[in-house]
């Protein structure tokens, strides 16, 4: 019998897992509803449990910050000035919307888009995003900047990669980050969107096949139908 996977803060509708959480009474005045509910966009109990717990953790931290508004900080009377503390509290909670890291993005991407795909697809996503982790660290994606994207580009250029290879790697990174951010509902400006580099660098241009070589291959073909097909394709 398969092991049952419990996904807290969820319910299932038409096979899709949904997140649901009641808003605490002491912060409900900031909302127009008494509960939060949205699709987790997955049929997998494992993925649903991971996403639900991450969302619940984010809400707990956010609500905690709201609850702390106006609460006197321990030792505040010992400060030379409390203006910075008061100013920070009056502006509401300063909390990141997510702690979605680069490795999390890869997991989400492969769990959703890697179903039925071969090992080549999975290796490409893991390897290419691995460059970001190697050169920039496994940081939350909201901390990624243009400087990080340029650093990855510079390192790939230094490795002697052709422009076409760099384009594929950066394209994969961009797709993985965008997909995961969309799945998690994260407002994310992808710094890997417009990275400049010489796409023609070290790209080998193949010379066209000469007509004489095509005629030679056709003449040596033992099948008349194949000869006619090749001549039509070559425009001879």
In order along its 236 residues, the chain shows pLDDT tens digits of 345 567 788 999 999 999 999 888 887 887 888 888 889 988 888 888 888 888 888 888 888 877 776 556 666 556 655 444 444 444 444 444 457 889 999 999 998 888 888 889 999 999 999 999 999 999 889 889 999 999 999 999 898 888 888 899 999 999 999 999 888 888 888 999 888 877 665 545 555 666 666 666 666 665 666 555 655 655 55
The SS3 of residue 190 is: coil
Q: Are 16 and 36 in contact (CB under 8 A)?
A: no
pLDDT of residue 92: 47
> What pLDDT is stored for residue 64 in this prediction?
80
Buried b (16+ CB within 10 A) or exposed e, 42-73: bebbebbbbbbebbeebbeebbeeeeeeeeee
The pair of structure tokens assigned to 4 is 């049952």
What are the extents of the domains in the chain?
10-90, 102-184, 208-236
Q: Classify residue 102 as exposed, middle or buried by CB count within 10 Å of its CB (0-12, 13-18, 19+).
A: buried
Sign of the CA dihedral running 57, 62, 67, 69: positive
- DSSP classification of residue 140: B
Instruction: Give the SS3 label for residue 198.
Output: coil
Please report the pLDDT score of residue 94 as a whole number.
46
Q: Are strands 10-13 and 16-22 parallel, antiparallel or unpaired?
A: antiparallel
Round to whole Å and give the CA distance between 157 and 151.
10
Phi-psi region at 70: left, alpha or beta (left = phi > 0; alpha = psi -120 to 50) = left
H/E element, 46 = helix 45-67
* Lookup: tokens for 26: 């002491």
Q: What pLDDT, on the 0 to 100 scale, is given for residue 127?
A: 93
User: pTM of the predicted model, to two decimals?
Assistant: 0.49
Q: Which pLDDT score, from 0 to 100, does residue 105 have?
A: 92
Helix H or strand E segment including 38: strand 35-39
């Amino acid at each position: 019998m398969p092991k049952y996977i419990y996904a807290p803060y969820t319910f299932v509708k038409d096979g899709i897992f949904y997140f649901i959480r009641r808003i605490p009474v002491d912060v409900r005045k900031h909302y127009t509803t008494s509960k939060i509910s949205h699709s987790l966009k997955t049929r997998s109990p494992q993925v649903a449990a991971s996403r639900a717990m991450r969302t619940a953790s984010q809400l707990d931290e956010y609500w905690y910050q709201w609850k702390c508004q106006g609460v006197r900080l321990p030792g505040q009377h010992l400060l030379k000035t409390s203006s910075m503390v008061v100013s920070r509290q009056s502006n509401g909670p300063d909390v990141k919307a997510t702690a979605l890291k680069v490795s999390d993005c890869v997991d989400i991407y492969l769990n959703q888009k890697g179903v039925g795909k071969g090992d080549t697809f999975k290796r490409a996503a893991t390897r290419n995003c691995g460059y970001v982790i190697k050169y920039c660290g496994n940081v939350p994606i909201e901390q990624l900047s243009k400087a990080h994207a340029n650093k990855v580009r510079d390192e790939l250029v230094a490795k002697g990669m052709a422009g076409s290879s760099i384009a594929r790697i950066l394209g994969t990174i961009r797709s993985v980050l965008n997909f995961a951010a969309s799945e998690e509902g994260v407002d994310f400006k992808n710094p890997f969107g417009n990275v400049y580099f010489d796409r023609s660098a070290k790209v080998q241009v193949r010379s066209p096949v000469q007509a004489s070589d095509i005629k030679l291959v056709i003449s040596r073909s033992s099948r008349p139908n194949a000869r006619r097909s090749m001549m039509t394709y070559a425009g001879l």
